[in-house]
Copies of this chain bind each other. A is one copy, B any other.
Amino acid sequence: MTLIAGYAGLGIMGRPMAANLKAAGIPLAVFARKAASAQSLVDSGATYHATAASLAANCDVLFINVSDTPDVEAVLFGPGGVVEGARPGLVVVDMGTTSPSATRQFAERLAQQKIDMLDAPVSGGEIGAIQGTLTIMVGGKPAVFEKVKPLFEAMGKTITYVGDHGAGQVAKACNQIVVGGTIVAVAEALLFAEQQGVDGAKVREALLGGFAQSRILDVHGQRMLDDNFKPGFKAKLHQKDMRIVLEEALASNLALPGAAQVLQYLNALVGSGEGELDSAAMFHILKKMSH
């Protein structure tokens, strides 16, 4: 049985991901608040729908790529939303970065209407979306994951089933904690080298050969040396993700001092007018503290 894919949210990430589904020969229907965002996909044969409800009535697996938790809620349960049009057995897949606890609530509300849900946030950025090399972290029921897996494989390279509803969002939150903390560590190391009059490029090179190796040191370490913070992954989006992490940590009384510090640097970066830069530009905040 050929599944019909639906895609709601055709921004920087959603559009190339939907295009990769289409390119893999999967029938595609789309919805976007701005019809213009859908034009290139419609030109290549996708069906356009003016509401999420209409999209839901005409597809088997409905992917959502909108920016934050309230936007997901609006697409699902708002006026003209998914639940108004969905047939029983529809699978909704949230590919954005959303609160884990809200995700669990959404899955429960959808289940009452016999709609399945997966949370499947990604890492790898716009380039990974275009090249179909995203890392996809999936939460939900195993059988539903197996059903959608061939579609994920059209969009990503490393696809991991993490656990029950929300587990994909938890993995993504963990990803953002690690990425943020590692950026800060690399930034402090390169600032220390600079202050000591030592060539940061040589330090990066030496460290990449040993235990301090990371993709962050490799990619963002080079960005810091070049002062090139063209995104990549925008600071204002990393700020949103760390806000979600720390809201969850607060709700469960878990102390995450490093993650809290990362959010403060991201607040400072956005406050300094640099929220459109890559989040590795936290380097600027750490640098200007002592200069």
Contact = CB atoms under 8 A, between A and B. Distances in A.
Contacts of A290: 253-255
Interface stretch (A45-53, A69-77, A178-186): A178-186
Contact of A210 (B123, B186, B188, B203): B123
A188, A214, A256, A286 — most chain B CB neighbours (10 Å): A188
A252 B195 contact: yes
Contacts of A174: 189-190, 192-193, 203, 207, 212
A178 B135 contact: no
26 contacts: A135-B206, A135-B207, A137-B206, A157-B209, A160-B202, A160-B205, A161-B202, A162-B199, A166-B198, A167-B198, A170-B198, A174-B203, A174-B212, A175-B189, A175-B206, A180-B185, A181-B181, A181-B182, A181-B188, A195-B252, A196-B248, A196-B252, A213-B215, A214-B216, A214-B217, A257-B261
CB-CB nearest 5 A-B residue pairs = A181-B185, A158-B209, A214-B214, A135-B210, A160-B206
A249 B188 CA distance: 10
Interface in A61-83: none
Interface in A12-50: none
Contact of A245 (B181, B192, B258): B192
Interface SS majority for chain A: helix
A77 B206 CA distance: 30
Interface in A240-285: 245, 248-249, 252-259, 261
Given A177-B188, A185-B178, A192-B177, A163 B214 contact: no
Interface of A: 100, 123-125, 135, 137, 157-158, 160-163, 166-167, 170-171, 173-175, 177-182, 184-186, 188-193, 195-196, 198-199, 202-203, 205-207, 209-217, 219, 245, 248-249, 252-259, 261, 286, 289-290
Contacts of A213: 214-215
A73 B254 CA distance: 45
Contact of A177 (B135, B189, B215, B245): B189
Contacts of A252: 195-196
Nearest to A196: B170
Given A198-B163, A211-B123, A213-B214, A203 B171 contact: yes
